[in-house]
């Protein structure tokens, strides 16, 4: 399931990544960490 999430994130989020980073002034690494945190919360809520 983690592999599927990673693939979906890469394909779906990556095209928006640069636009959102530029708009918000975030670094790519910082934004990827934020995405990972949001996905982790969703997974935890889904499991619980």
pLDDT tens-place string over residues 1-46:
566 666 666 666 677 776 776 666 667 777 788 888 988 888 888 8
State the pLDDT at residue 25: 65
Question: Does the model's pTM come out above 0.75?
Answer: no
State the pLDDT at residue 33: 84
Contacts with 27 (C-beta within 8 Å, 6 or more apart), sequence order: 21
Cα–Cα distance measured from residue 25 to residue 7, given in angstroms and rounded to the nearest whole number:
25
Split into its structural domains, the chain has a count of: 1
State the pLDDT at residue 2: 66
Contacts with 26 (C-beta within 8 Å, 6 or more apart), sequence order: 20, 34
Closest Cα to residue 13, out of 40, 39, 43? 39
What is the span of the domain harbouring residue 15?
A: 11-47
6 assigned to some structural domain: no
State the pLDDT at residue 5: 65
36 assigned to some structural domain: yes
């Amino acid at each position: 399931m983690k592999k599927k999430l990673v693939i979906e994130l890469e394909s779906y989020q990556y095209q928006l990544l640069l636009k959102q980073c530029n708009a918000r002034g975030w670094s790519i690494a910082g934004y990827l960490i934020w995405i990972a945190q949001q996905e982790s919360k969703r997974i935890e809520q889904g499991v619980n």
